[in-house]
Every structure is written in C-alpha cells, then in structure tokens.
Structure 1
Amino acid sequence: MFGVSMFFDLKKVIFFVVGVVVVLALAFLFSADKSGIKKRPILQMLVIELVLAWALMKTTVGLTIVGGINAFFVRLMDYAGQGTSFVFGDLAQKGHFVFYMNVLMPIIFISVLIGILRHFKILPVVIKYVGLGLSKVNGLGKLESFNAVSSLLVGQSENFIAIKQLIPHMTNQRMFTLSATAISTVSMSIVGSYMQMIEPRYVVTAILLNMFSTFIILSVINPYQLEEGQDLIVTSEDEKKQSFFEMLGEYIMDGFKVAVVVSAMLIGFVALIAAINSVFDMAFGITFQQLLGYAFSPVAYMLNIPWHQAAQAGAIMATKVVTNEFVAMIDLTHAKGLDHHTVGVISIFLVSFANFSSIGMISGAVKGLCSEKGDIVAKYGFKLVYSGFLVSLLSAVVAGLMIS
C-alpha cells in the first residue's frame, strides 16, 4: 500500500533506544516533580512520533504529501520573489543580496497570508480544534495544546496575545510550559525561508515531530495536575476589530519587522562569532566553533553520526543553540564531508527557535502583556533553552531511525 517497506538495521535501533533513554534521563534530572510524571502519555506520543516520521520519510504517501507542501511553498516563494524583484530589480538576483532578498524578504508575503487566514477566522478554528485533538493524547491541558498549535501558525510571540486575559492568573508552571512550547516550535512565516536552505522534507518532518517532542519533554521536566475549572481556553481574537486593508497593512509591517530582525541578528551573530573565532584561534590555535564542536561531539555521535563527522556536526548544532538556527543553517550549507544521514539529522535538529536569543523575544512579548509574568519567563531562561534543546534532540533521535 505504501510502496516502501519498513526496515531498520540493528545499529539504528540501538542508537534510537539509547538516544531516547539519554534524552529522557536528561529531562528527568531537571524535573520539577519526578513523582508526578505520567508514563502513558509519554509512550503514546513517542509511538505517534515514530509513525509520523516513518509515514513522512519512508512511505510513498508521505513523500507525496511532503512534495506537495514543498511545491506549495515554492509557489509562494515565487510570488514573493515577484514583489521583491519589482522593488529591488536586479539586486534581488545578484551577489550577496540573494540571501536577504530571496530568503528573508518572502517572510513579508507569508505573514500577509497568515493575517488573511486569521482575519477571516479560519486560523483560530484550526488552532482550536487541532489543539483540542492534541489534548486527548498528550496528557496536558487544552490551553497548552492550543498554545502549541498557535505558536506554530502565528509565531512564538504573537500567540501570547490571543491568551492575554489568562496570563496574569497563570501559575508559574503553566507559564513555563507555554514559553517552552513557544521556544521549541517555529513560526509558519519562516518555514519558506528554511526550505531555501535545507531539504523541505526535513523541515516538514521536524515541525510535526517537535510538537510531540515538546509535549514529551515537558511531561517529564515540568509535570503538573490541573484542578477542575483551570483547563479553559479564553482567547482575545475578537477584541481588536480591523478592516481588511488595516489588517493587510499591519501584517505587511509585521512580516517586514521579522525579516529585519532576523537580518540584524544574523549580522550581529555572524560578526560576533567571526571575532570570537579569531581571538580563540590566535590565543589557542583553535576556533571557538571548533571548540564547541568537540564539546558537542558526544551529542552528535549519540545521533548515529560517524565519529569523524561528529566534531563538525556538533559545531553546527552548538552554533544553533548559542546564536540562532539561521546562522547554523548557513554553516550547514557550507559544510563539506558530511554524509546524507548526518545532514538529515542535523537539519531536523536545527528547525526550532531553541536558542538564547529567543528568551528575550518571548519574555519581552509576555512582559508587554503582564510585567510580572515576563520577569518569570526571563528567570527561567536557561531551563527554557535546555528544554528546547532536548526537544530538538529527541526529534533528531526519532528522525535518525528513518533517515537512510
């Protein structure tokens, strides 16, 4: 029926089992309530992840779906390119302008599409009912599930606006879960840009796996029991009334701001990494990224990456955590000597906002709605990045079983 038989070699199975055990053990070490961990939902979601990864990467149906999604985003990027070319002309196709024009500027167009879907109440319905469906299997609350879908479709900061009425009354534990979810996913407005740098099938697979990996890690690292009457979804979607063209203007500017912010962060982080690399090279004869690579080599090896590639792979993974995923994706496109399996596993790992720069964005967004809760998010900064790192790691472990 699926056209591709399911087959795993023993080595991959061993690395998968060891990887899952290690990731869950690392989450367990920092668990806020070790006795409150529910094992059944964790096992259910792990099985769902395996089925999803297999279906998307090993079956004819899955590959067809991923191909269709890729074709959809290729068409969107083509439309976005027409707008970019109209404004910037030949600059959009020449030299060093290519990355900014062809990778970052399309964020504006995709942001507009998200705004249209939200304006006509299509997106809120999708978020609500997909979230309700997820809450049946993840052992978490409806709000937590709603937030996971919302973070993916509208962005890590914007999704908090939809639940702003609840934020002042939220417990610290629930605030941590919502923030960790935001840091472990990616905004749909950026997906097209990712697909310009890494294989689309890895982007699609990572997005879906990360959602369930997030629920698994949070079920271990931050378990809690909701009391009756706490599990409510109260959104603010209807509070701000706008005309269609007011909405278009707002989302065009929002998309432009995201593109500019990403470009500014790339300039700052790439320059900073270059400077630090130079200092380390002069002082110790080894660059900072090479040092990070050696430190992350055991992590890379745990993903069934050959040891002779582990240092290079580890450097890219570490770069993602300490800077952002765009910088790491650029490094991956320039990497040499990495085999197909290594590139695939690293690609899955890179697709999330789990890095230290995201803490400022999330805490700033929450602080704008409730100052006290924004300070709490900032206080949890390291643990949030650690949780997001484990989410990416778990998704890479699962995907590694399927990547040839």
Structure 2
Amino acid sequence: MLQLQSAFGVIALLGLAWLCGENRSKVSLRKAAIGLTVTIATAVVLLKLPIVAHAFGAINDAVSTIAAASRAGTSFVFGYLGGGALPFDLKAPGADFVLALQALPVVLVISVLTTLLFYWRILPPIVRGMAWLLERTLGIGGAVGLSTAANIFLGMVEAPLFIRPYIAQLTRSELFLVMTGGMAGIAGTVLVLYATFMAPLLPDASAHFVIASVLSAPAAILVSLIMVPETEDRRTDGLLAKPDSPANSTMDAIVRGTTAGIELLVNIVALLLVFVALMYLMNAILMLFPTMGGTPLTGQRIVGYLMAPICWLMGLPWDQALTAGSLMGVKTILNELIAYVQLSKLAPDALDPRSRLIMLYALCGFANFASLGIMIGGLGTMAPERRNEINALGLKSILSGTLTTCLMGAIVGVLN
C-alpha cells in the first residue's frame, strides 16, 4: 500500500508543479511523459544495478580531487582556518570547518578551470555535442544540458560557470532550468560529509547520495519544463555560434578566471551572510507569538506543517509525516546539512528504514533561502543583464527544487 501511495504521490507532485507553474497551456505532455519515463528508468537502473552507482562514485572522486586541490590552496594561504593542520586539540567535532575559507573558495578554482577549458576550445564542442543529444531526447538545448549534468557533481554556482558565456543567451525557460538544476542537487564536495552522517543509518549511504545526484538531472528537467515551459526559440541549440575567446593566452585565462572568481566569491559570501541573518530575524519576530504545543513558533515549524502532506505523498505513514515535514522545514529555512544532522539523531522509532531512505533523497538538494542568496549572487554576477529575471524566478526555483527532490523520494518509495 505504501508503494501505491508513493506512486500516487509521483502524479500528485507533478500536478502540483503544473498548478504552481506559468503558461500552463504551453506545457508539452509529450515532453513531460518522456521526462518522467527517463527519470523512472534512470532510478530503476541505478537502484537495481549497484555497479552503476560505483561507476559514478569513481567520477565523483575526480571532482573530489578538484576540491582537494582547492583545499591545498586554502590551507597554504589561510593555514588551519583554511583546512590545514590544527595547532590545538579539537574539542567540538566540525568546529574547525570555516565555510568562507574552506568550501566556497572552490569557486575560484572552478572559475579558472572553466576559463581555461573555454580558451583551449574544449568545452564549446561538448556543449554542441550535448545539444545534439538532448535535443533529440528531452528537447532541451546543449548549454542547459551541460549545466544540469554538471550539477550532478558540482554546486549551483560552479556548474553554471561551465556555460558562463551562454547564460545571457538563454531563454526564460532555460534560465529557470539552470536554477532548478542547482536547487535540486548537491555538490560533490559535500556528498561525503552528508554520507558520513547517514552511514550509521544506511550502510550504502554514499551510493544513495551518488544516485540522488544523478537522478536529480532528469527529474529537474521534468519539473522545470512543467513549471516554466518553453515558449521562445532557443538560442543555444546545436547551431550555437562559437563564443568569443575569454582570454588571449593560457596565463591570461588564469588571471581572468581568478578575477571573475573573486567577484563571484565576494557576492556569494555577502548574500549568504545577509540571507541567514534575515532568517534569524524572521524567527526572532515569530518568537513573539504564542507557542504551539509548548514550543516556540519558527519558520522551520511553519514550513514543516505545510510539508507534512507532501511527505505523506512521498509514501511515508501519516504518523511519521509530521516528523519528516519538520526535517523538510529545517532544510528549506536553514539548509540540508542541519536537516541531515537532525535526521541522523532521530530516535530509531521516529522514522522506519524505508522512510529514512526516502528522506535521504527528499533532503538531497540545495533548495533553501540561504542557497537562493548564493544563486542570485552567482548568476547575477555571471549575467548582470539577466539579474532582474533571475531575482523574479528565485522563489519559484526553491519550489521547483523542493518538488524535484520530493519527486525523487516518491520514485524511490515506489521501488522500495
């Protein structure tokens, strides 16, 4: 019965995406059917053939190498604040992690690498190749296809860097797809961290996180095309003109990539700080209202109550849906890291093993308000002429990213 409940949830979640979308009459049922088929087929292959997940794990190791290279640079420049050896004994696990000096600087490295790859004319042919393939399957352009595929292993800002010269040319639907892909996935740099929290509960946690990252690509395309269907002629299809070279030499590419990355990094840090502060102020105001059940009212709790029916649609029993909805509230208002920490600390009887597996997938995305600040800062810096449109699509991208991860949870519920 729970599997049938999840199957109903798949249809209901797609219907909710349609209701919350724009230009609903323009939604292509054919593209939606193909997208759903591809998403379910991908889930079946990855969940029933573990060797495939291990193959993607090897690719993730390559991305981890980039993160390790970035950590080497931050350790050299910032010492133990940047991830180097601590000159003292660590008393609180995780207290040595400094987001701005350890995780975010990877943007600099990715910015330089993408500038080099464009200067060396390696990425443009890949974009055109992706266009040829994806136009004949899911009907999307190669530029957004590359960005969405990169989101499997990279973050919401690092992945669009691969198509930075094309962002200004994207249609509204394609721009929304880029944003949805970022909100619906997690970066390979944090995958291991989350797997560490979940390993005691799920022995194959790392494999499931890899599967979730891969599954998020077709699922994001499906939800995005339903919420913001294509109504314009694409300008980044297979006949895309070659972009101007971003540099004059290899060294110039390194310098230009670093300069662009610095501007991007500063925007991300500033907006992340502001959004987290605003969320704190919102909760401080809510604290002035009467408590509910003896517990202060917070933004997380409000979203949690709203998300409980969605968790039921994913296939969770109703007596566990409220607990799961609270986790979704924490993930949406704060971030998925805190939600995974809380999930790992739940009492054994709070969620059964199947529900925990579904929630692993449902929480596996960057769709939260702090991430929205990062995305607006990043994409707005890459394409300043599209900043107003990026801002307008911001809140909708949180919804689309959340619906995408919940759709993945429901599909996993059908198969388990």
Q: TM-score, normalised by structure 1?
A: 0.77
Counterpart for residue 149 of structure 1 = 149
Distance 1:110 1:339 in 2: 37
Query: Which residue type is aligned with residue 401 of structure 1?
Result: V
Query: Which residue type is aligned with residue 175 of structure 1?
Result: L
Distance 1:75 1:162 in 2: 18
CA contact (8 A) 2:268 2:374 kept: no
Say what the alpha-carbon RMSD is for the aligned residues. 4.2
Distance 2:68 2:160 in 1: 31
Select which of 185, 200, 210 maps to 1:204: 210
Distance 2:265 2:382 in 1: 23
1:20 Cα deviation after fit: 1.5
CA distance 1:62–1:163, change in 2 (3 Å): closer
1:99-114 pair list within 5 angstroms: 100-101=96-97, 107=103, 114=110
SS state of the match for residue 223, structure 1? coil
Counterpart for residue 368 of structure 1 = 381
1:259-278 pair list within 5 angstroms: none
Query: Which residue type is aligned with residue 384 of structure 1?
Result: S
Distance 2:32 2:183 in 1: 20
Select which of 91, 95, 98 maps to 2:94: 98
CA distance 1:343–1:264, change in 2 (3 Å): farther
Query: Which residue type is aligned with residue 325 of structure 2?
Result: G
Select which of 329, 337, 340 maps to 1:318: 329
Counterpart for residue 302 of structure 1 = 313
Query: Structure 1 or 2: larger helix share?
Result: 1
Query: CA offsets, 1:116-143, max 9 Å, x none?
Result: 8644566666565456433321122333
Query: CA offsets, 1:188-230, max 9 Å, x none?
Result: 4443443333421222111111111111112211112453766
Query: CA offsets, 1:6-41, max 9 Å, x none?
Result: xxxx541x1232111111111221332333222233
Counterpart for residue 9 of structure 2 = 19
Counterpart for residue 222 of structure 2 = 216
CA distance 1:68–1:260, change in 2 (3 Å): same
Distance 2:332 2:46 in 1: 26
Distance 1:164 1:73 in 2: 19
CA contact (8 A) 1:132 1:146 kept: no
1:328 Cα deviation after fit: 1.8
Select which of 286, 307, 312 maps to 2:295: 286
Counterpart for residue 37 of structure 1 = 27
CA distance 1:399–1:188, change in 2 (3 Å): same
Counterpart for residue 61 of structure 1 = 51
CA distance 1:362–1:132, change in 2 (3 Å): farther
Q: Percent identity?
A: 19
Counterpart for residue 387 of structure 1 = 400
Counterpart for residue 201 of structure 2 = none
CA contact (8 A) 1:365 1:374 kept: no
Counterpart for residue 246 of structure 2 = 239
Query: CA offsets, 1:305-361, max 9 Å, x none?
Result: 222221111111122122222222222222223222222211112222222233333
More off after superposition, 272-281 vs 364-373: 272-281
1:255 Cα deviation after fit: 11
Distance 1:248 1:230 in 2: 23
Query: CA offsets, 1:245-292, max 9 Å, x none?
Result: 759977997999799789968985896698578656757622434454
Counterpart for residue 202 of structure 2 = none
SS state of the match for residue 98, structure 1? coil
Distance 1:281 1:333 in 2: 30
CA contact (8 A) 1:108 1:253 kept: no
1:398 counterpart = 2:411: yes
More off after superposition, 383-392 vs 194-203: 194-203
CA distance 1:33–1:258, change in 2 (3 Å): closer
Distance 1:331 1:265 in 2: 24
1:180 Cα deviation after fit: 2.9
CA contact (8 A) 1:91 1:97 kept: no
Q: Which runs of 5+ in 1 are unaligned?
A: 1-9
Distance 2:402 2:369 in 1: 10
Distance 2:128 2:153 in 1: 12
Distance 2:16 2:208 in 1: 25
Distance 2:89 2:34 in 1: 48
CA contact (8 A) 1:107 1:259 kept: no
CA contact (8 A) 1:56 1:66 kept: no
Query: Which residue type is aligned with residue 239 of structure 1?
Result: P
